[in-house]
Amino acid sequence: MANFETILTPALLPQYDLKGKTVVVIDILRATSSICVGFNSGVTLFRPVAHPEQALVLEEDGFIAAAERNGQKLEGFSMGNSPFDYLNTDLNGKQVAITTTNGTRCLHLSYEAAEILIGSFLNLQAVADYCKKQNRDVIAFCAGWKDKFNLEDTLFAGALAQLLQNDLVIECDSTLAAMDLFDKAKTDLSGYIKKASHAQRFERLGIEKDIDFCMQQSIYNIVPRIVGEDLKL
């Protein structure tokens, strides 16, 4: 049987071998959640880029340029990284070049994997179903915050592992810890996550409503994945 492992922060990435595996990149607050909203609103592709300047160059080729650093939309960009930037907006057929503090960085760090998927609570069940069908080793890769551990990405890793525990072998302690954490928090995910450092950062920025939105489970039946240098459905 294939295995399930969890990388709790990008700083731990050198301890893992991604080759031949499916990596699920997780940045619940908010990059991977917002990317799911964007696809659901009609975006045809996201191009994750490392630097804001690269997004601006792509804007000249017709892309929408989206950039976030430290939780805030950068000046001069038409989009940031809030799910509400991508909700109820006519994005049909649009292409978005996006750079964020941690999430897009992890997509680039995962380049050795056989497949790179976008995981968020918004598409949790779809990602689990996709992984089940593939029967390949899965790594849940938590983006964390600037190489540090965070609660919200770990909770998602635990939720995904719970859905896959009958199909994949789970012998990895970080996954077992994530599953226990999810068990503790699952009856009131939003309430639990409010104590997280990133939630407090959002409170200071006045964007707490993004948290409740990102904690909704399995409202989108989509699995964005890397194809070449882009994210597509």
When asked if residue 30 is in the footprint of ligand 3SL (CB under 6 A), the reply is yes
Q: Is 120 in the site for ligand 3SL (CB under 6 A)?
A: no
The binding track of 165-204 with respect to ligand 3SL, each residue x by CB under 6 A or -, is ----------------------------------------
Q: Which of 31, 49, 118, 211 binds ligand 3SL (CB under 6 A)?
A: 31
Distance of alpha carbon 159 from alpha carbon 70, whole angstroms: 26
CB of 57 to ligand 3SL, least distance (A): 20
If binding is defined by CB under 6 A, does position 68 make contact with ligand 3SL?
A: yes
Q: Which of 81, 154, 162, 174 binds ligand 3SL (CB under 6 A)?
A: 81
User: Cβ of residue 211: shortest distance to ligand 3SL, in angstroms?
Assistant: 10
Q: Is 150 in the site for ligand 3SL (CB under 6 A)?
A: no
Q: Are 115 and 225 in contact (CB under 8 A)?
A: yes
174: which strand partners? none
29 is a site residue for ligand 3SL (CB under 6 A): yes
Query: What is the rounded CA–CA span in Å between residue 120 and residue 5?
Result: 17
Give the span between the Cα atoms of 152 and 120, in whole angstroms: 10
Measure the CA–CA gap between 211 and 147, rounded to whole angstroms. Answer: 21
In this complex, which beta carbon is closest to ligand 3SL, that of residue 165 or of residue 200? 200
For residue 55, give both structure tokens.
Answer: 């997004």
Question: Which residues between 93 and 112 bind ligand 3SL (CB under 6 A)?
Answer: 100-103
In Å, how far from its chain's centre is CA 174?
A: 18
Give dist(CA 87, CA 158) in Å, integer.
Answer: 27
